Copies of this chain bind each other. A is one copy, B any other.
Amino acid sequence: MKTIVSTVKGARDFYPQQMAIRNWLYHHITRVSRSYGYEEYDGPFLEKIELYAAKSGEELVKEQAFVFPDRGGELITLRPELTPSLARMVAQKQGELLYPLRWWSFGPFWRYEKPQKGRSREFFQWNIDLIGVDSPEADAELIAICADFFRAVGLAPDQVQVFVNDRQLMDAEFDRLGIPAELKKKALHLIDRREKMSPEAWKAYAAEEGFSDNMLAGLAELLEDKQTWKQSPRLTRVFEILKAAGAVDYVAYEPRIVRGLEYYTGVVFEAKEITKEGRSILGGGHYGNLVSDVGGDPLPGVGFAMGDMMIQVVLEKFGLLPAAGGTPAEILVTVFDESLSPESARLAADLRGAGLNVVTYPDAQKLPRQFKFADKIGVRFVLVVGPDEVMAGTATVKDLSERTQETVAREKVAEYIKTRLAG
């Protein structure tokens, strides 16, 4: 036997069982997005490299994107993220669109990373954005969407939390701590690094970057104080709205969350599992300027992105992944013998016409074998149309779960099965 060609590293096969889980996620994402009135869209999967070059902070493209020349020599990128495509699409029709825009998407992305638990080179991502508005209501809406999604997939507030901060609050706090303007960006970096370094290394790094002991003590205190949000009118309003919306159990202020430094300008948030691993599930925030990098007029918004890999790791850990997959059919119609196979096809077509999902056995194998197949794939009903049934205008309906068997008039079979399914 020849060797089977293997899959590309970091790419995944979706057998029906894995596909059912992807669809289950997509279903909940769709439900929640639509419940807030968001419209689904999608960008192309291939984009020109210039699109990413236009965006500042393009580490993704330089270091992680699949970039290659097409057969015409043009440099093509497999999209590593959706925001630049979204910006382009909005800029292209900036004058025609109706704001605020509510758009969401779920599709494939590619990054040349080291495959590991919760990370692959080809993955799916949910992107959702509310564009053309800058308000605490908008910030709260996106955070409430996270909470609703977690609730929908069965994750409780003691299992996941959306950690929220406000970059403008941090800016005001930096002023209070006497951190000069030229050190502010470094201060955000420093916060971002806090959990990735030992306290000693962190202090040494800070001193090297020019932070005084006083500033550092102030920063350390800021990171410990979970009440600072009360100084932020914006966060105060966001929490007030989230409370009214019944989402606040899922949300906490966390000064350590700063997110993408070049992009976000206001409220930022990141959802993590409440475990010692503390894996990050999604992240987003408010941006002041979505489209001017790609040629449009400045437009604020708020949005987040969630990959399909880490959420599955978290759901699996908490035993929340569904037992998905299996035939969608409720019924198998057997083929009594070759001459009667059109009768089976006729009955199956009638049942499909009535909205039922029906497998027809595809040849005239011995009946016990067909029954065995029905049992294995997990349909509930097995139907037989033999010479007696044809003569009498009936079908024999075997209910594998109730272990019953009845002869039912042909025109009543759909109704009979629907009643049993509903009961």
Instruction: Give the B-binding residues of A (Cβ under 8 A).
Output: 1-9, 11-16, 19-20, 22-23, 34-48, 50-51, 54, 66, 68-72, 74, 76, 78, 85, 88-89, 91-93, 98, 100, 102-103, 108, 110, 112, 121-122, 130, 133, 135, 137-138, 140-141, 144, 148, 237, 240-247, 292, 294-297, 325-329, 332, 335, 341-343, 345-346, 348-349, 352-353, 356-363, 373, 376-377, 379
In the assembled complex, the Cα of A295 lies from the Cα of B246 at a distance in Å of 55
Contact check, A349 vs B133: say whether CB atoms are below 8 A apart. Answer: no
Assess the B357–A1 pair: CB atoms within 8 A.
no
Contact of A362 among B38, B50, B69, B141 (CB under 8 A): B141
Set B8, B102, B329: member contacting A359, Cβ < 8 A: B102
| Extra pairs beyond A2-B294, A8-B76, A245-B342 (11, CB < 8 Å) | A4-B294, A5-B48, A8-B74, A11-B47, A35-B357, A38-B328, A39-B328, A66-B71, A130-B362, A137-B341, A241-B345
On chain B, the residues within 8 Å of A329 by CB distance are 34, 36-37
A342 touches B15 (CB 8 A): no
* 27 residue pairs A–B, Cβ–Cβ below 8 Å: A1-B295, A4-B91, A5-B295, A7-B88, A13-B42, A15-B41, A16-B103, A19-B40, A35-B356, A36-B352, A36-B359, A37-B358, A39-B325, A45-B45, A66-B76, A68-B69, A72-B112, A102-B327, A133-B362, A135-B362, A137-B341, A137-B345, A141-B360, A141-B362, A148-B352, A242-B345, A245-B342
A23 CB contacts on chain B under 8 angstroms: 40
CA distance A3 to B343 in the complex (A): 64
Cα distance A329–B229 when bound, in Å? 33
Does the CB pair B241–A342 fall under 8 Å?
yes
On whether A37 and B359 interact (CB within 8 A), knowing A13-B89, A76-B8, the answer reads yes
Return the chain B residue nearest A3 by Cβ: B295
Question: Which residues on B sit within 8 Å (CB–CB) of A294?
Answer: 2, 4-5
Out of B2, B20, B92, B103, name the residue touching A4 (CB < 8 Å). B92
Question: Which residues does chain B contribute within 8 Å of A243, judged by CB atoms?
Answer: 342
Q: Which of A3, A22, A42 has the most CB of B within 10 A?
A: A42
Smallest beta-carbon distance A71→chain B, Å = 5
Interface residue SS majority, chain A: mixed
Q: Which residues of B contact A348 (CB under 8 A)?
A: 245
Q: How far is the CB of A54 from chain B (nearest CB, A)?
A: 6
Most B CB contacts (10 A, CB to CB) among A35, A121, A297, A360 go to A35
Complexed CA–CA distance, A360 and B7 (Å): 45
Residues of B close to A108: CB separation below 8 A: 45, 108
Question: Whole-angstrom distance between the alpha carbons of A402 and B217 in the complex?
Answer: 63
**C-alpha gap A348/B78 in the complex (Å):** 38
**In the complex, are the beta carbons of B2 and A295 less than 8 A apart?**
yes
Residues of B within 8 A of A39 (CB): 16, 19-20, 325-328
Chain B nearest CB from A133 CB (Å) reads 5
Contact, CB under 8 Å: A335 / B11: no
Q: How far apart sit A67 and B312, CA to CA, in the bound complex (Å)?
A: 31
Contact of A8 among B13, B46, B245, B325 (CB under 8 A): B46
Residues from chain B with a CB closer than 8 A to the CB of A41 are 14-16, 19
Q: Which of B12, B328, B335 contacts A137 (CB 8 A)?
A: B335
How far apart sit A220 and B398, CA to CA, in the bound complex (Å)? 52
Question: In the complex the two chains form, is A51's CB within 8 Å of B5's CB?
Answer: yes
Partner pick for A245 among B144, B292, B346, CB 8 A cutoff: B346
Q: How far, in Å, is A144 (CB) from chain B's closest CB?
A: 7
Q: How far is the CA of A93 from the CA of B294 in the complex (A)?
A: 46
Min Cβ gap A274→B in Å is: 23
For A7, the chain B residues whose CB sits under 8 A away are 44, 47-48, 88
| Complex interface: chain B residues within 8 A of A40 (CB) | 16, 19-20, 23
CA distance A334 to B15 in the complex (A): 45
List, in ascending order, chain B residues with CB within 8 A of A379's CB.
Answer: 37
